[in-house]
Amino acid sequence: MNRISKTFVLGTLLTTVLGACSAVAVAQSAGGTPAPAAPISTTPVPVRKPMFEAMLNGLKAPDETKGVDSVMYITDFPPGAVSAKHSHPGWEFNYILKGSVTYEVVGQRPVTLKAGEGTYNQRGNIHVVKNASQTEPAQLVAVLVKDAGAPIAVNVP
């Protein structure tokens, strides 16, 4: 960066900061208060990548009105990642490929699984899945057998 552009950048930055301070002062003097900034989450989230889907011909969903399909997906958990609270409209089989993850099913004790271990998640279980490590990534592969056309997961408040 040359001297002119540094001066320009510093001048622009100073003008912006002073302008923002002036706007806050005007709002406060008029009896208003500045709107609070929206909270920014710094917690990483897992990333789910569907690999393939297949219709399971001949099987019916529990209500007998829909068919059943399946999806296989990989979920990557950056260090410290935490999923939203959710459930699945089907039966989920998980196998931990690397790292370790903690499953927290509502009403049950948390269970931590490491690479080489697997679990079955009953249809409709409300749960959160966390990377058990703050420093190492984790990864799992899952197969979900679900109502045909249903989403992989449904977030729960």
Instruction: Give per-residue pLDDT as tens, 72-99.
Output: 999 999 999 999 999 999 999 999 999 9
Distance between CA 110 and CA 106 in Å, rounded?
A: 9
Q: Both 129 and 68 in a single domain?
A: yes
pLDDT at 41 over 50: yes
Q: Note whether 143 and 67 are same-domain residues.
A: yes
The answer on 77 and 106 residing in a single domain is: yes
Range of the structural domain that residue 27 is part of: 1-40
Q: Is the pLDDT of residue 57 over 50?
A: yes
Q: Are residues 20 and 53 in the same domain?
A: no
Owner of token pair 């079955």: 120
Asked if 73 and 131 sit in the same domain, the reply is yes
Q: Give the chain's mean pLDDT.
A: 80
Query: How many independent structural domains does the chain possess?
Result: 2
Q: Is the dihedral of CA 57, 49, 44, 37 positive or negative?
A: negative
* pTM metric for this prediction: 0.70
Rounded Cα–Cα distance for residues 119 and 10 (Å): 56
Residues 11 and 84 in one domain: no
